[in-house]
Amino acid sequence: MTIREEIERRRTFAIISHPDAGKTTLTEKFLLYGGAINSAGSVKGKATAKHAVSDWMEIEKQRGISVTSSVLQFTYGGCCVNILDTPGHQDFSEDTYRTLMAADSAVMVIDGSKGVEAQTRKLFKVCAMRHIPIFTFINKMDRDAKDTFDLLDDIEQNLGVFTCPVNWPIGSGKDFKGIYDRDSKEVIQYFDTQKGTKEGTETRVPIADTEKIIGEIGQDAYDKLMGEIELLDGASEAFDLGKVQKGELTPVFFGSALQNFGVEIFLQAFLRMALPPTARRSDQGLIDPVEHDFSAFVFKIQANMNKAHRDRVAFMRICSGKYEAGMEVRHVQSGRVQRLSQPQQLMADDRKILTEAYAGDIIGVFDPGIYSIGDTLCMPKENFRYEGIPTFAPEHFARVKQVDTMKRDQFVKGIRQIAQEGAIQVFQEYNTGMEEIIAGVVGVLQFDVLQFRLKSEYNVEIKLEMLPYEHIRWIANPEEVDVEHIVGTTDMKLVKDMKDRPLLLFINPWSPQMVLDRNKGLELTEFSKNNTFENI
Ligand code: G4P
């Protein structure tokens, strides 16, 4: 196969949902169809989303890859599919956001009885920011679900995207009879015998065969279905692949992952509609996945995956070309040319050493401590950067103090490394060195993780002193203003981030505006400038 053919058959997507909507179950069924596993129940890690903090810490200590996002690859219908699994736990959300940056499309799993939930709303915002196609699977139709029109309305209202049902459920719960496929105009009947198999009997009856349909699903269900189809054909957005691929319209599918119903139909349609890797923006224009030689960016760093070796793995998304074993690449941010050491592919809990990989694939590389999230790798002869991964504004801040001042070096090293991984953000007083360290996090659980990891991985004990700040603004034009003489508010604190960029912390939500009013020419932004996507 040529490099072009290899790349064009790749489909890389992230699977997102609110915890418990059925993401793990659906992933497992995909793998079953792809022949990557032989029986249901072999994908590990779904329990992690449900663990209480204390349990979770224990898991975090062991650092199984099931805790954070893992990558699964399988082949189906000639396509090479990469699924980026995302942890459902709320406090892992930043990690999930980054994973979405590495995906070309997203599959959103929604529980039919619950509709759009908080976590989905948040994740969706990131997909929308990237304009990636989103495919919706409304799951658990074997349980009583909300009214179908209400579910679609919920998605449109909450997520601001148009919906186009590709198929339509006939009842739900005990009365679930199957789905109506709008394209082929057939009813695909549901029998609850398909659980755990990939064969599953699938019976299709044309809707035009009225007598047979009524015989199978009953007069009431038939009448309701016909009414709904009429309404749907008149009211719903027409299917438009162009809009789907721009993320403006989400195709919606219904089924039951647990009962293995509607899953293969969804997978087939998804592979037909989703795009292979497309060009990505860099500081030197668009980088075409096929025309360009190897390039990649780091979207995630995970330390201590193997406790015995204290290793750090940098996960990279290949954006163009082909990776070959032993290849030399340029790490743009450090300017170094190096060999990628033992790239791996991670399949659930297994790792395998890779000899080749293509644009669209994810590889894990041992990191001697040089990579940061968002870094670019390219061929030695080239020197461009992919646009950064946005850092989400922390909402909680704490002063971090070490208990034993003798361990200063380990403390600084630990804090730096954990910050490089993107688990926390670190700020310092604007004019001093590392004397005072302020950690900022999106979810408070990350503070516990920081404390725990510094103790277990770096043998450093810390005390956290919570600070009242809740709002953060980077100074967007530090070269144009006198940063040290900004006229502030009483609740303001001037600090700098790890890259020495100045920023302001505030207690009150109205203070940033007051500071803007008091300082002509000052520009503030909620995201650090170098990390910003144009359209945030
Ligand atoms: P998540 O990864 O999104 O968190 O969800 P997961 O797949 O773990 O599913 C959450 C629960 O919902 C599981 O039940 C799972 O069996 C169930 N489930 C998933 N899909 C369906 C479906 O289509 N229909 C029905 N009725 N249930 C579904 P659990 O009791 O928490 O786990 P288990 O004891 O069944 O393993």
Written in H, E and C, the secondary structure of 332-398 is CCCCEEEECCCCEEEECCEEEECCEEECCCEEEEECCCCCCCCCEEECCCCCCCECCCCCCCCCEEE
* DSSP secondary structure letters along 492-519: EEEEEETT--EEEEESSTTHHHHHHHHS
Query: CB neighbours of 31 closer than 8 A, spacing ≥ 6?
Result: 37, 43, 72, 74
Q: Of the ranges 62-76, 95-109, 113-127, which one carries the lowest mean pLDDT score?
A: 62-76
Record the tokens describing residue 317, joined without a space.
């998304």
Q: What distance in angstroms lies between residue 82's CA and the mean position of ligand 1's atoms?
A: 22
* 61-91 per-position pLDDT tens digit: 343 323 344 677 888 999 999 988 776 555 5
Assess whether the C-beta atom of 119 lies below 6 angstroms from ligand 1. no
C-alpha 238: how far from chain center: 28
Q: Whose CA is nearest to atom 11 of ligand 1?
A: 20
Strands (E), 269-324: 280-282, 285-287, 295-303, 312-320, 322-324
Q: Is the pTM of this model over 0.85?
A: no
SS3 breakdown of the chain: % helix, strand, coil, rounded to 5? 30, 30, 40
**Count of CA atoms in the C-beta half-sphere (13 A) of 119:** 26
Q: What is the DSSP letter of 142?
A: T
Instruction: Provide the residue type at 140 as one letter.
Output: K
Where helices occur in 441-499 by DSSP H, the ranges are 445-458
Q: Of the ranges 17-26, 197-206, 252-261, 430-439, which one carries the lowest mean pLDDT score?
A: 197-206
Give me the percent of the chain exceeding a pLDDT of 70: 83
Nearest atom in ligand 1 to the alpha carbon of residue 256 is 23
Q: C-alpha dihedral over 51, 56, 62, 66, to 10 degrees? A: 50
Mean model confidence pLDDT for the chain? 83
Q: Whose CA is nearest to atom 4 of ligand 1?
A: 20
Confidence band for 349, pLDDT divided at 50, 70 and 90 = very low
| Among 39, 253, 258, residue to substitute to test ligand 1 (most atoms within 8 Å of Cβ) | 258
CB 167 within 8 A of CB 178: no
* 433-463 per-position pLDDT tens digit: 557 899 998 877 788 888 888 888 888 999 9
User: For residues 527 and 392, what is the distance between their CA atoms, to the nearest angstrom?
Assistant: 7
Assess whether the C-beta atom of 257 lies below 6 angstroms from ligand 1. yes
Q: What distance in angstroms lies between residue 302's CA and the mean position of ligand 1's atoms?
A: 28
Please tell me the predicted confidence (pLDDT) of residue 134.
Answer: 93
| Among 25, 56, 85, 172, residue to substitute to test ligand 1 (most atoms within 8 Å of Cβ) | 25
Which of 294-308, 383-397, 504-518 is the most confident on average? 504-518
User: For residues 21 and 345, what is the distance between their CA atoms, to the nearest angstrom?
Assistant: 27
Distances in whole angstroms, Cα of residue 383 to Cα of each of 106, 334, 379: 30, 11, 8
CB neighbour burial string for 143-167, b if at least 16 within 10 angstroms, e if fewer: eebbebeebbebbeeebebbbbbbb
* 238-280 per-position pLDDT tens digit: 889 999 999 999 999 999 999 889 999 999 999 999 999 999 9
Assess whether the C-beta atom of 27 lies below 6 angstroms from ligand 1. no
Q: What distance in angstroms lies between residue 104's CA and the mean position of ligand 1's atoms?
A: 26
Please tell me the predicted confidence (pLDDT) of residue 153.
Answer: 94
Please tell me the predicted confidence (pLDDT) of residue 50.
Answer: 34
CB 314 within 8 A of CB 301: yes
Please tell me the predicted confidence (pLDDT) of residue 352.
Answer: 60
User: For residues 25 and 32, what is the distance between their CA atoms, to the nearest angstrom?
Assistant: 11
The residue with tokens 């007069």 is: 219
The residue with tokens 């082909």 is: 322
User: For residues 89 and 162, what is the distance between their CA atoms, to the nearest angstrom?
Assistant: 27
Distances in whole angstroms, Cα of residue 109 to Cα of each of 174, 182, 253: 21, 20, 10
CB 320 within 8 A of CB 288: yes
Confidence band for 532, pLDDT divided at 50, 70 and 90 = very low
Which of 18-32, 36-50, 272-286, 297-311 is the most confident on average? 272-286
Please tell me the predicted confidence (pLDDT) of residue 92.
Answer: 52
Q: What is the rounded average pLDDT of the residues 113-130?
A: 78
Q: What is the DSSP letter of 239?
A: P
* 394-445 per-position pLDDT tens digit: 889 999 998 988 888 889 888 988 887 777 889 998 876 557 899 998 877 7
User: For residues 313 and 336, what is the distance between their CA atoms, to the nearest angstrom?
Assistant: 18
3-state SS string for 56-75 = HHHHHHHCCCCCCCCEEEEE
Please tell me the predicted confidence (pLDDT) of residue 451.
Answer: 87
Q: What distance in angstroms lies between residue 256's CA and the mean position of ligand 1's atoms?
A: 10
Is the pLDDT reported for residue 54 higher than 80? no
Confidence band for 47, pLDDT divided at 50, 70 and 90 = very low
Is the pLDDT reported for residue 43 higher than 90? no
Q: Whose CA is nearest to atom 30 of ligand 1?
A: 20
Q: What distance in angstroms lies between residue 402's CA and the mean position of ligand 1's atoms?
A: 43
Assess whether the C-beta atom of 19 lies below 6 angstroms from ligand 1. yes
Is the pLDDT reported for residue 53 higher than 70? no
Please tell me the predicted confidence (pLDDT) of residue 56.
Answer: 35
Query: CB neighbours of 51 closer than 8 A, spacing ≥ 6?
Result: 59, 89
Confidence band for 195, pLDDT divided at 50, 70 and 90 = low
Please tell me the predicted confidence (pLDDT) of residue 200.
Answer: 54
Confidence band for 98, pLDDT divided at 50, 70 and 90 = confident
Give me the percent of the chain exceeding a pLDDT of 90: 51
Q: Whose CA is nearest to atom 28 of ligand 1?
A: 258
Please tell me the predicted confidence (pLDDT) of residue 55.
Answer: 34
Please tell me the predicted confidence (pLDDT) of residue 199.
Answer: 54
User: For residues 188 and 202, what is the distance between their CA atoms, to the nearest angstrom?
Assistant: 7
Assess whether the C-beta atom of 252 lies below 6 angstroms from ligand 1. no
Q: What is the rounded average pLDDT of the residues 344-363?
A: 70
Q: Whose CA is nearest to atom 31 of ligand 1?
A: 20
C-alpha 406: how far from chain center: 40
Q: Whose CA is nearest to atom 6 of ligand 1?
A: 22
Q: Of the ranges 119-128, 388-397, 457-466, 508-517, which one carries the lowest mean pLDDT score?
A: 119-128
| Among 20, 72, 96, residue to substitute to test ligand 1 (most atoms within 8 Å of Cβ) | 20
Where helices occur in 183-278 by DSSP H, the ranges are 210-217, 219-235, 241-245, 263-273
User: For residues 202 and 39, what is the distance between their CA atoms, to the nearest angstrom?
Assistant: 19
Is the pLDDT reported for residue 527 higher than 60? yes
The residue with tokens 């850092």 is: 391
* 134-174 per-position pLDDT tens digit: 999 999 999 999 999 999 999 998 888 899 999 999 999 99
